[in-house]
Amino acid sequence: MHEVSSGGGLLRIGKAAERAEVSPRTLRWYEEIGLLTPANHSAGGARRYTEEDMGRIAHIRELQSLLGFDLGEIRDILRGEDDLAGLRHEYRSGTDQGRRREILLEATAINDRLREMVAGKQACLEIMMSELTEKSIRYASRLRELD
């Protein structure tokens, strides 16, 4: 029961950490603070990570390094997405239209919040980039003047 056997494609913590370029300790830490509970455990209690888990790790890393969220904020974001997954299930099992609309609207709201954050970062980076480019142009023209 419960796919425990000889790890059908599942990764043990060592390989999972290696592939995600983090330490095993980091994965245990994510679990401890409720960020990532590996879907599977061996009979003896060893963690087994699915491909979905690996995607989640990548997602966490992205939110952390690209957007600068701390792990608490990331937990909240993922909770939102997890709730959505639950709702998605409810959605599929064909509830009434009103409920479906509700679910979709909430999903859209969560998505929009993230998009705004990304857009904000992008705007800042564009300003920064244009300043750097301006400098670069000045340097280049100075160099041309030297001939």
Partner DNA sequence: GCCAAAGTTTACGTCAACGTAAGATTTCTC
Partner DNA sequence: GAGAAATCTTACGTTGACGTAAACTTTGGC
61 binds a copy of itself (CB under 8 A): no
56 binds DNA (CB under 7 A): no
29 binds DNA (CB under 7 A): yes
Which uninterrupted H or E stretch holds 40? strand 40-41
58 binds a copy of itself (CB under 8 A): no
Dihedrals φ, ψ of 57, to 5°?
-60, -45
Q: Which residues pair with 48 in a beta bridge?
A: 12, 40
Interface with a copy of itself (CB under 8 A), residue from 15, 19, 79, 115: 115
CB neighbourhood size of 36 (10 A): 23
CB neighbourhood size of 136 (10 A): 10
Q: How far apart are CA 92 and CA 82, in angstroms?
A: 15
133 binds a copy of itself (CB under 8 A): yes
Q: Is the dihedral of CA 75, 79, 82, 84 positive or negative?
A: negative
Binding-site ranges for DNA (CB under 7 A) = 6-7, 12-15, 22-26, 28-29, 33, 42-47, 64, 70-72
Binding-site ranges for a copy of itself (CB under 8 A) = 62, 65-66, 68, 97, 100-101, 104-105, 107-108, 111-112, 114-115, 118-119, 121-122, 124-126, 128-129, 132-133, 135-136, 139-140, 142-143, 146
